[in-house]
């Protein structure tokens, strides 16, 4: 590279990073032959889909990871240089804060690590908390913060040492629109002061608003690099802006004169960064493979289908209850009952059927209850117990819930002879059973 190194905060040539497995065999090639040049005093946008190598490259700039090949310098020195780190600020993709500390205690903690004087930490801390909108929450611990509030505190921590080089990994993730606008204003303000900001984000409109230069990665390789104006210009078209007029003939006749005098301006129309980014990624995906995320194949078929499950009234009921485990049998049966109640019309007449003997079925108990008569008048009510009648034989199953004296349910399922049994009927029948008898079968 023939450029003056002092003009660049970051210089990298042929930077490569390969992650290996336990045996030292290559596993994932995260970054391959990357050349990067970040000028002093500007905003540099580092873009790419998930798994493109952005965070890996940023961690090598910070000295957290070491490249396998290539050369990388930060502020003219190796990324691992301790003095260099004092001039860096870093906001990671996830803010890792001590949950038991308040915002001011957090800033004091990191300020001591940076060896800043106590009075400087106190002064800057108050200004930073005012800037990120957390001064009113200075006495709350960070563990009580929402995700967005944690991001705001992380940004304040990254700016505590007034860094010359600020690296922001998804700075607007989790922030409300007001917070996003404040972060973008902050980035522009830092750039005006001569600071250098390296920004990664999937919110491309935010990146387009603040970036001077862009580097787009895919599959660990650089796909495009240049200024926003160069990359986003549609150079196959020309756009001419002239003062408004009512006559088209006047526009055509006066255009050469207006262009020469500067009244009319000719330039290339500009596409959005999102349009350009998607085109770059689509072309790169055809040329080469990636260890990161790839483009999806559209909406899953079942999410587009209007088919309903048989017996379900709407899509929200289109779950196959029959395949549930035995542990969920109560839930599935109740769901079927509620669906059946809606679909089965109310009978007009009820015929009193002879009520058979009720036998308790249990491994150790088979004591009959002699001809308990149930009332036949049907009363509307919410079904909560299971009712089942099979061939004029009503079965009462003594379950674990019964043995724990919680409830006694009668399960019925009409097959040969129909018996109309309501929840009120069951409750009246249960009330007839003597408490002493229940105590005897539960011991």
Distance, in Å, from the CA atom of 372 to the CA atom of 433, rounded to the nearest integer, reads 9
The 8-class DSSP code of residue 372 comes to: P
How large is the average pLDDT for residues 385-394?
42
Mean pLDDT of the chain: 76
Residue 394 has pLDDT above 50, yes or no: no
CA proximity to 204, closest of 231, 167, 165: 231
Of the ranges 228-232, 248-252, 301-305, 436-440, the best mean pLDDT one:
228-232
Residues 212, 226 contacting (CB under 8 angstroms): no
Closest Cα to residue 428, out of 381, 372, 383, 353?
A: 372
Q: Which parts of 353-408 fold into alpha helices (H)?
A: 400-403
pLDDT value for 384: 42
Percent of the chain with pLDDT over 70: 65
Instruction: Kindly tell me if the per-residue pLDDT of 391 is higher than 50.
Output: no
Q: Which two tokens stand for residue 120?
A: 């400087």
Instruction: Point out which residues pair with 225 in neighbouring strands.
Output: 215
Band of the pLDDT at 308, cuts 50, 70, 90?
Answer: low
The model's pTM is 0.64
Task: Write 326-331 long-range contacts (CB < 8 A, 24+).
Answer: 330/386
Q: Comparing 133-137, 218-222, 315-319, which segment has the lowest mean pLDDT?
A: 315-319
Q: Tell me: pLDDT of 317 over 90.
A: no
Sequence-separated (6 or more) residues with CB below 8 Å from residue 174: 147, 148, 150, 151
Strand ranges inside 300-369, DSSP E: 358-361, 368-369
pLDDT at 268 over 70: yes
Question: Mean pLDDT throughout 171-183?
Answer: 88
Residue 197: predicted pLDDT: 95
Does residue 42 carry a pLDDT above 80?
A: yes
| Tokens encoding 207 | 């990146």
Confidence at residue 376, expressed as pLDDT on a 0 to 100 scale: 46
Pick the range with the lowest mean pLDDT from 87-91, 212-216, 300-304, 309-313: 309-313
CA 376/CA 383 separation, integer angstroms: 16
Judge contact between 125 and 104, C-beta under 8 A: yes
Number of H helices, E strands in the chain: 15, 15
Compare 13 and 332 and report the one with higher pLDDT.
13
196, 41 contact by CB (below 8 A): yes
Residues whose CB falls within 8 Å of the CB of residue 235, separated by 6 or more in sequence, listed in order: 268
Task: Give me 171's structure tokens.
Answer: 């700075």
Q: Which two tokens stand for residue 144?
A: 């009580």
Output the CA angle 31-291-201, nearest 5 degrees: 70
Query: pLDDT category, 385, cuts 50, 70, 90?
Result: very low
φ/ψ of 330, rounded to 5, equals -60, -45
Measured between alpha carbons, how far is residue 206 from residues 43, 47, 126, 209, 272 in Å? 12, 12, 27, 5, 11
Are the C-beta atoms of 224 and 214 separated by less than 8 Å?
yes
Q: Is the pLDDT of residue 406 over 80?
A: no
Q: Would you give the DSSP letter of residue 351?
A: P
């Amino acid at each position: 590279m023939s450029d003056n190194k002092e003009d660049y905060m970051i210089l990298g040539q042929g930077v490569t990073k390969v992650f290996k497995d336990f045996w030292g065999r290559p596993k994932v090639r995260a970054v391959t032959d990357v050349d990067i040049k970040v000028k002093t005093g500007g905003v540099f946008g580092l873009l790419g889909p998930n798994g493109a190598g952005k965070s890996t490259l940023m961690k090598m700039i910070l000295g957290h990871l070491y490249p396998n090949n290539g050369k990388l310098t930060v502020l003219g020195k190796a990324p691992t240089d301790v003095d260099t780190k004092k001039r860096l600020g870093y906001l990671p993709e996830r803010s890792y804060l001590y949950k038991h500390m308040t915002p001011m205690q957090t800033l004091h903690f990191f300020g001591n690590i940076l060896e800043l004087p106590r009075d400087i930490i106190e002064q800057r801390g108050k200004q930073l908390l005012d800037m990120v909108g957390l001064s009113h929450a200075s006495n709350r611990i960070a563990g009580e913060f929402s995700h967005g509030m944690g991001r705001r505190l992380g940004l304040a921590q990254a700016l505590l040492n007034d860094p010359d080089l600020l690296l922001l990994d998804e700075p607007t993730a989790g922030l409300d629109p007001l917070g996003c606008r404040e972060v973008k204003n902050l980035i522009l303000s830092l750039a005006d002061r001569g600071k250098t900001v390296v920004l990664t984000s999937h919110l491309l409109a935010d990146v387009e608003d603040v970036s001077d230069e862009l580097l787009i990665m895919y599959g660990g390789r650089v796909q495009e690099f240049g200024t926003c104006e160069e990359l986003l210009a549609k150079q196959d078209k020309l756009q001419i802006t002239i003062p408004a007029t009512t006559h088209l003939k006047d526009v055509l006749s006066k255009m050469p004169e207006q262009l020469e005098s500067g009244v009319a301006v000719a330039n290339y129309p500009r596409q959005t960064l999102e349009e350009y980014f998607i085109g770059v990624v689509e072309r790169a995906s055809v040329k080469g493979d990636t260890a990161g995320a790839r483009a999806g194949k559209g909406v899953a078929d079942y999410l587009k289908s209007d088919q309903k499950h048989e017996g379900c009234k709407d899509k929200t009921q289109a779950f196959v209850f029959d395949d549930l485990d035995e542990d969920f049998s109560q839930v599935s049966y109740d769901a079927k009952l509620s669906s059946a109640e809606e679909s089965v019309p109310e009978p007009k007449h009820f015929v009193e059927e002879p009520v058979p003997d009720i036998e308790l079925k249990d491994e150790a108990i088979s004591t009959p209850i002699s001809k308990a008569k149930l009332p036949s008048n049907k009363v509307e009510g919410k079904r909560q117990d299971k009712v089942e009648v099979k061939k004029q034989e009503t079965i009462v199953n003594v379950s674990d819930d019964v043995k724990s004296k919680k409830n006694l349910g009668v399960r019925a399922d009409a097959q040969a002879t129909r018996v109309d049994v309501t929840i009120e009927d069951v409750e009246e029948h249960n009330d007839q059973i003597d408490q002493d008898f229940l105590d005897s079968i539960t011991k």
